[in-house]
Amino acid sequence: MSDYDYDLFVIGAGSGGVRAARFSANYGARVAIAEDMFMGGTCVNVGCIPKKLFVYAAHFHDDFADSAAFGWTAEAKGFDWRTLVDNKDTEIKRLNGIYERLLENAGVEIVTGRATVVDPHTVAVAGTQYSTANILVATGSWPVVPDIPGREHVVTSTEAFYLDELPKRAIIVGGGYIAVEFAGIFNGIGVDTTLMYRGPLFMRGFDQDVRSHLAGEVDKAGVDLRFSTNIAAVEKTPSGLVATCEDGAKVETDLIMYATGRAPKVDGLGLEEAGVKLGDDGAIIVDDHFKSSVDSIYAIGDVIGHMQLTPVALAEGMAVARTLFGNEPTKADYDYVATAVFSQPPVGTVGLTEEEARERHGDVAIFRSTFRPLKHTLTGRDAQTMMKMIVDKKTDRVLGVHMVGDDAGEILQGIAVALKAGATKAVFDSTIGIHPTAAEEFVTMREPVPDPVAEAAE
């Protein structure tokens, strides 16, 4: 038993912090966790969970319309925003309670309030100081809005989950997955939606075929895509908001939501004063075991600026618990981390993009298929699914798999297991498909697309 009050004090009760706290306590450590906002962090409260609930809501308009082709007489008679928000809030409150009970059942002491680091072994919350052998910072990230005139009139994804009423018109600013997801949500529930992005094509960092195919599908769904466009100023008027773009164009709207990035939530924590080194972006610099420049202070999740994904934060939290209290120094494995974008249609991806694969492995084979889903052979809806596989020609190992289409996230989870296990294209080819499904396309793609160099030489 040490002379400290705790063996570990966790700042931030998001997914990663809660996982680290629980499992450290299970190893026998004396653990406290501080939270000043809500149990479960961004994902549970203003991220993954409410966002996907909103995505479900956005699908129903098309589902009602499509049902006619299958013999149903149904129509969307109206949408009540308040009902969706209230039901979402009820579910989030339930999840908050679950997180709290998980911590209590593990023997973790919950401290309510904003925590700051006093020194490498002291944390202060609401005027009370706690001594601890180790500190874990798991405070996550927060949306960033550029400093433009009228920025006080815009919202971020955080506020979008709690709007008092649904706007008739909305502008979403940004080109990342949050912007694309919210554009689909608002468009699906009947908002006249415009997506503005300063670059030539959204979803930077994703496979180029994924980006271009998704842009086409989002455009067909009715979202007004305005690439190479950026807002210079926002003005509030009696009838709503006016966005003045850098090219001088003016767009009237009722809501402007910025999704232009998130910054590590480190302000006011006292980290630098305690000797913790931060990167240029404000992220806490850590080693492979999540130790900062101060031996007793660790950090995980969005605040370290790596992969901003809930399952990654969970893995990092588990690694810290094992390293500190399980006598098992553990690193997080970032290879073949699958992810999904709940756009409409959704994206699923695991492994390398084509661009990354060519840069790292040189000679690769590309298998790609685009087709109309079986469902829409009856509805007549102009929807196209795209699937893509990237294979190392030298080893036959599958380096990356990407999909744009219904259930992409569900399908790619299983594919991720195969890639993690080192599956080759021959393994996919020898696997019998499930018919009729979209997923079977991944085991029936036989002919690679022409190599771009050879094609250009013809």
Every domain of the chain and the residues it spans: 6-142+263-325, 151-260, 339-453
- What are the residue numbers of the active site? 435
Cα 264 from Cα 282, distance rounded (Å): 6
CATH topology of domain 6-142+263-325: FAD/NAD(P)-binding domain (3.50.50)
pLDDT tens profile 219-274: 999 999 999 999 999 999 999 999 999 999 999 999 999 999 999 999 999 999 99
pLDDT tens profile 159-200: 999 999 999 999 999 999 999 999 999 999 999 999 999 999
Provide the pairing of β-strand 115-119 with 122-125: antiparallel
Cα 266 from Cα 7, distance rounded (Å): 22
Cα 242 from Cα 313, distance rounded (Å): 39
Cα 335 from Cα 339, distance rounded (Å): 12
Query: Nearest 5°: phi and psi at 437?
Result: -140, 160
Cα 8 from Cα 31, distance rounded (Å): 5
Q: What is the DSSP string of 277-316?
A: -B-TTSPBP--TT-B-SSTTEEE-GGGGTS---HHHHHHH
pLDDT band of 77, cuts 50, 70, 90? confident
Q: Check residue 456 and give its pLDDT.
A: 47
Least confident of 2-16, 68-82, 316-330, 432-446: 68-82
Q: Check residue 45 and give its pLDDT.
A: 97
CA geometry: angle 46, 38, 42, nearest 5 deg: 30
Asked if 6-142+263-325 and 151-260 have one fold, the answer is: yes
The amino acid at 447: E
The helix, strand and coil proportions of the chain, stated in percent and rounded to the nearest 5, come to 35, 25, 40
The DSSP call for residue 424 is B
Mean of the pLDDT values across residues 320-345? 97
Burial degree of 229 (CB within 10 A; 0-12, 13-18, 19+): buried
Q: What is the DSSP string of 179-229?
A: HHHHHHHHHHTT-EEEEEESSSSSSTTS-HHHHHHHHHHHHHTT-EEEES-
pLDDT tens profile 145-161: 999 999 999 999 999 99
**Contact of 172 with 257, CB cutoff 8 Å:** yes
Give the residue carrying structure tokens 């404000």.
Answer: 282
pLDDT band of 74, cuts 50, 70, 90? confident
pTM above 0.75, yes or no: yes
CATH class, range 151-260: alpha beta
CATH class, range 339-453: alpha beta
Q: Check residue 75 and give its pLDDT.
A: 80
Distances (CA, A) of 151 to 155, 242, 258: 8, 12, 10
Q: Coil, strand, or helix at residue 337?
A: coil
